Amino acid sequence: MTKPASRLYFLDAIRAFAIMMMLQGHFVHALLGDTYRDENSTIYSVWEYFRGMTAPTFFTITGFIFTYLLLKQNTVGLDNPRVLKGIKRAVKVIFWGYLLRLSFYAVFNGTLNPSFFYVDVLQCIGTSLLLLIGVYLILYRYYNQRLFQNTILGLGIAIFLLQPVYGECILDFLPQTIANYFTNKNGSIFTLLPWFGYVCFGSFMATLFLKYGKHQAFYTYTAITLLSIGLMLIFYSSNLFMLLHDITDLMIFRSVAYNNFLFIRLGNVCILFTIFILLKNYMSHPVITKIGGRTLSIYIIHFFVLYGSWFGLGLNSFFYHDLSPVEVTIGALLFVMGICALVLYYYKYEDKIKIQMQYVLESFYKIIHINIPEVFLNIKNNIAKKYRSILYTRR
């Protein structure tokens, strides 16, 4: 078990920041009126830019935290307890990803809604964790820190560089359920390519923290390095790829330079990490830690409240693209605070709530258990009486 003193609280803070950014981003995107979505508006453009940082941050921090906990164990391969825990966690996340998109209306009509098969953030994160575990297990026989570092970094770079190649693929030869993990042409929101790339970069960063984290000046040098890499990726990476194109005459570099959103967003993540590392001594508040540790629950609850999930009765059903900037700002603030408070309240009184729910379910079961036989007996008697009356009439 990791000792509290060795916990990297700034990771919880980044994850808490990312989930709250996701909450307000989804709220504003779903409910802000169309007339206020002006790309020429500075406020709206700034909001949209920062909203675009949420998913890259979340995928990067996912790869970081999982790898950090995985490699911190004294055992390797299947003997590592984090492997089984990771698989269970990944399957649970994928399961919820599909369950949240299930429409009971469609089920009652004997079918499944098409959006049920779309791959969203939860399925993508869960599958990315399984891939990360797979890479780890393949390499563990020859395991050393450098091999895993180089492999995972190489995967991240290759995924980002090859985006122009696989970005237009439709993959008609695959079953659509599987193809949805690799292409968004059928409606998927998040696909393994390129988002697994951010998980790889986060994983690579974790290996560096494990290897050098105990050095005295590590965090100072890390902050300077991440800031430098972040600024370079944001402002100079496109020019660098054009230079590589001029040198090698490879069109892939030119294509990346003209649509360089992946590396620029990675630069945003590096700068965000820098900020939280510099503020790491102020990030150990228990509320921040709890929010950062309950991101799945927060995501699930927000999906029900905002989108309605199974029944389609959420805020989106009543206020879709209908709120003014003032209304959506106040609403987003209340939404973030309300969802986080609801989840934290549940986990604070989890045992009591479970006992009460168990009591209610047991009481309901007793009622059903008592009444169902009586109902079937009455139905049987009514059918028998009806049958006898029909026979008597015929005679």
Task: Tell me the mean pLDDT in the region 384-390.
Answer: 57
Rounded distance between C-alpha atoms, residue 295 and residue 302, angstroms: 10
Q: Which of 168, 67, 116 is nearest to 312 (CA)?
A: 116
Q: What is the pLDDT of residues 83-123, one digit of tens each?
A: 999 999 999 999 999 999 998 888 888 888 888 999 999 99
DSSP three-state, residue 78: helix
Q: What is the pLDDT of residues 161-207, one digit of tens each?
A: 999 988 877 788 888 889 999 988 888 999 999 999 999 999 999 99
Residue 313's identity, in one-letter code, is L
- pLDDT exceeds 90 at position 366: no
Average the pLDDT over each of 5-9, 174-178, 372-376 and give the range with the smallest value: 372-376
| pTM, entire model | 0.86
Q: Could you give phi then psi for residue 106, rounded to 5 degrees?
A: -70, -40
End-to-end CA, the chain: 82
- pLDDT exceeds 50 at position 3: no
Characterise 284 by phi-psi region: left (phi > 0), alpha (psi -120 to 50), beta (else).
Answer: alpha
Which pLDDT value is given to residue 271? 96
**188: DSSP letter:** -
Answer for the pair 338, 348: CB distance below 8 angstroms, yes or no: no
**70: DSSP letter:** H
Q: What is the CA radius of gyration of the chain?
A: 26
Task: Tell me the mean pLDDT in the region 125-130.
Answer: 97
Rounded distance between C-alpha atoms, residue 314 and residue 304, angstroms: 7
Query: Could you tell me the CA-to-CA distances from 129 to 83, 89, 303 in Å, in that order?
Result: 10, 9, 22
- pLDDT exceeds 90 at position 310: no
313/379: higher pLDDT: 313
Name the pLDDT band for 5 (thresholds 50, 70, 90).
very low
Q: What is the pLDDT of residues 236-267, one digit of tens each?
A: 999 999 999 999 999 999 999 999 999 999 99
Query: Could you tell me the CA-to-CA distances from 331 to 44, 53, 179, 324 in Å, in that order?
Result: 16, 21, 37, 10
Structure tokens belonging to residue 26: 């989804």
List Cβ neighbours of 106 (8 Å cut-off, separation of 6 or more): 112, 113, 116
Q: Which percentage of the chain shows pLDDT scores above 70?
A: 86
Cβ of 312: how many Cβ atoms within 10 Å? 13
- pLDDT exceeds 70 at position 74: yes
Query: Could you tell me the CA-to-CA distances from 180 to 155, 157, 191, 264 in Å, in that order?
Result: 21, 22, 7, 25
Which pLDDT value is given to residue 340? 94
Rounded distance between C-alpha atoms, residue 351 and residue 337, angstroms: 23
Answer for the pair 322, 33: CB distance below 8 angstroms, yes or no: yes
- pLDDT exceeds 90 at position 376: no
- Alpha-helical runs (H) found in 168-294: 176-179, 192-212, 218-235, 237-248, 251-258, 261-278, 286-293
Which pLDDT value is given to residue 4? 42
- pLDDT exceeds 70 at position 288: yes
